[in-house]
Amino acid sequence: MLSPDEAAELIEAIAARQDRAAFASLFRHYAPRVKAFIMRGGTDAETAQEVAQEALIMVWRKAASFDRSRASAATWIFTIARNKRIDLLRRTGRPILSTEDWLAVFAPEKDDADTSILAGQTYTRVKELLGSLSADQLVVIQKAFFEDKTHIVIAEELKLPLGTVKSRIRLALGRLRDALEKDEP
Amino acid sequence: MSRHPAPEELLLDYAAGALAQGPALAVALHVALDPLARRAVERIDALGGAMMEEQGEAALDELALERTLARLDTIAVEPRPAPRTPRPGFEWAPPPLARHIAAEARWRNVLGGFEEIRLRLPGDSHRVSLLRLKPGRGLPMHRHVGAEYTVVLQGGYADSTGNYGVGDFAVGPGPEQHEPIADPGEPCIALIVIERPIVLTGPFGRWLNPLVRRDLI
C-alpha cells in the first residue's frame, strides 16, 4: 500500500529530478486502479489499459503542477484519468477542456491558505465518508464516477424521479462538505 | 448581493466527466470565476479520487510498465505552466474559454440589439455563444425549449429571477419567459449554452423563429 504522503513524495520526485523509479512505484500502484476504474464503465480491458498507461504518462508530464496542499495524489490522478477517459473514449475531436483546465481547480490561490486542510487529511475523511453513505446515495455517486453518466441519465436508468436523484446527490455532497469543513470556523 | 451557484448535481456531472462539451465549458468557467464552486468541485474530485483508490484494481499485462518506461525517454516533465497573458480585448475570458476563441473572432451585431461571438465546439450539438449587451439593454423576450446554461464573465444582468454578476451561473428553463437586462456600467458579457434553439415570444418572434431554428441568427 501507498500512503497519501508517500504517493505525494513520488510525484514530487518526478517533478524534481525526472525520477523513473518513483514513476515505476506510482505506476504499479495506480495503473491497475485507473484500469479498474475505466473498466467499470463498461470499457474493454485492452482500451482500459491504454487509458491507464496514457493517464500515468500524463502524471509524468504534469508532475510539476502537483501541489499536495491542494489535492491528494489519488484525487489528482483521478482528475487526469477522467480527462483521459473523455479524450480516448469519446474520440469526438479535441476535447474542449484540456488536462490543464481540469487540473486548474487545484492551482494555488492567494486567499485560501486558511480554508484548505491538508490533502492527506482530506483523503482520510473522504474515505470515512464513503463508508458511511447510504446505499441509495452511493449507487448514484458510483454511477456518476464509474459509468460517466449525468444525473438525468442515472434517474432514467434507476427509474427514479429526477428530484429523487437530485436530492440524493445533494445529501451526499452536503455530507461531504460537512466532513471536510468540520474544523473550519 | 446574492450568489447564484450551479446546482450541485451539475457539478457532480461535470466532475464525473459526463457533461457534453458546451455545458462542461459553462461549468468550467463558473468554477474558474467562483471560489466556492471551485471548492465544491475540489471536494467532489476528492470523492472521485477516493473511489478510484479504494474500489478495485485490474492487473495490467506484464510488459505494460516496461513499455511505458521506454516511452518516457522522449517525454519531458513539463515545467509548471506560466501565468497566461490575456489577449487584448478578451481580458474577461478565463483560460478554458480563451483557448477556444478563434484569432479572427469578432463581435457581430445580431437582430435585437446585442452582439455575439459563436463558438464551434467539435462533436457537440449545443449552441454555444458569447453575448455582449450594452448597459441597460435587454435580450429579446424568449422562452427555452431545452436546457440553457449562462455564466456571467463581465458586468452583470438582472431578470425576474434575480441579479447576476461575474461568475454567477443560471440554469434554464426557469420561468416561462424571461427578459434579461444588462446592469449599468460596463457591457455585460456572458457565455450562453443552449440545448436547442430558443423560441422568441416577442412581436417579431413569428418571423424570426424559423431563422433561429435554421441557425441563421
Residue B59, pLDDT > 90, answer yes
Q: What's residue B193's pLDDT? A: 93
CB–CB contact B18 A130 (8 Å): no
Q: How does DSSP classify residue B135?
A: T
Instruction: Provide long-range contacts, Cβ within 8 A and 24+ apart, for A169-172.
Output: A169/A137, A169/A140, A169/A141, A169/A144, A169/B8, A169/B9, A169/B12, A170/B8, A170/B9, A171/A137, A172/A133, A172/A137, A172/A138, A172/A140, A172/A141
Q: For residue A18, count other CB atoms closer than 10 A to its CB.
A: 15
Average pLDDT of the residues of chain A: 88
Q: Tell me: the pLDDT tens digits for A15-64?
A: 999 999 999 999 999 999 999 999 988 889 999 999 999 999 999 999 99
Report the alpha-carbon distance of residue A11 to residue A68 in Å, rounded.
9
Q: What's residue B139's pLDDT? A: 77
Residue B173, pLDDT > 80, answer no
B-chain residues within 8 Å CB-CB of A32? 57-60
Residue B199, pLDDT > 90, answer no
CA nearest to B33, candidates B214, B164, B181, B179: B164
Q: What's residue A1's pLDDT? A: 78
**More confident call, B79 vs B172:** B79
Measured over the CA atoms of residue B179, residue A170, residue A90 and residue B38, the dihedral's sign is positive
A86 and A121 in contact (C-beta within 8 Å)?
no
CA distances in angstroms from B153 to B119, B136, B165, listed in the order given: 15, 17, 8
Q: Where are the beta strands (DSSP E) in A93-174?
A: none
**More confident call, B5 vs A181:** B5
Buried residues in B56-91 as b, exposed as e (16+ CB within 10 A): eebebeeebbeebeeebeeeebeeeeeeeeeeeeee
B65 and A27 in contact (C-beta within 8 Å)?
yes
B147 and B138 in contact (C-beta within 8 Å)?
no
- Which set of grid coordinates corresponds to residue B30? 463558473
Percent residues over pLDDT 90 in chain A: 62
Q: What is the mean pLDDT of residues B32-61?
A: 92
B138 and B177 in contact (C-beta within 8 Å)?
no
Q: How does DSSP classify residue A106?
A: G
The confidence band for B141, taking pLDDT boundaries of 50, 70 and 90, is: low
Measured over the CA atoms of residue A152, residue B168, residue B28 and residue A182, the dihedral's sign is negative
Least confident of A58-62, B50-54, B83-87: B83-87
- Identify any residues that bridge with B182 across adjacent strands, giving them in sequence order: B157
CB–CB contact B51 A115 (8 Å): no
pTM, two decimals, is 0.89
**More confident call, B178 vs B12:** B12
Q: Tell me: the pLDDT tens digits for B91-128?
A: 999 988 988 888 888 999 987 778 999 998 877 778 89
Q: What's residue A36's pLDDT? A: 95
The residue of A6, A14, A101, A114 whose CB has the most chain B CBs within 10 angstroms, and thus the best one to mutate to test that interface, is: A101
Report the alpha-carbon distance of residue A146 to residue A167 in Å, rounded.
20
The confidence band for B197, taking pLDDT boundaries of 50, 70 and 90, is: low
Q: What is the mean pLDDT of residues B174-179?
A: 64
Report the alpha-carbon distance of residue A111 to residue B131 in Å, rounded.
31
Report the alpha-carbon distance of residue B116 to residue A23 in Å, rounded.
47
Least confident of A103-107, B49-53, B68-72, B175-179: B175-179
B-chain residues within 8 Å CB-CB of A78? 45, 48-49, 51-53
Q: At what angle do helices B35-54 and A73-85 cross, to 10 degrees?
A: 90
ipTM: 0.92
B193 and B149 in contact (C-beta within 8 Å)?
yes
Nearest to B96 among A61, A97, A153 (CB): A97
The residue of B55, B77, B120 whose CB has the most chain A CBs within 10 angstroms, and thus the best one to mutate to test that interface, is: B77
Mean pLDDT is highest, among A76-80, A115-119, B19-23, for A76-80
Q: Tell me: the pLDDT tens digits for A101-114?
A: 888 878 776 655 54
Report the alpha-carbon distance of residue B206 to residue B92 in Å, rounded.
35
Least confident of A34-43, A164-173, B7-16, B177-186: B177-186
Percent residues over pLDDT 70 in chain A: 88
Q: What is the mean pLDDT of residues B1-17?
A: 89
- Distance (Å) from the C-alpha of residue B126 to the closest C-alpha of chain A? 13
Q: What's residue A46's pLDDT? A: 93
Q: What's residue A100's pLDDT? A: 83
Least confident of A108-112, A155-159, B52-56: A108-112
Q: What is the mean pLDDT of residues B9-38?
A: 93
CA distances in angstroms from B43 to A17, A71, B36, listed in the order given: 30, 9, 11
Q: What is the mean pLDDT of residues A105-133?
A: 74
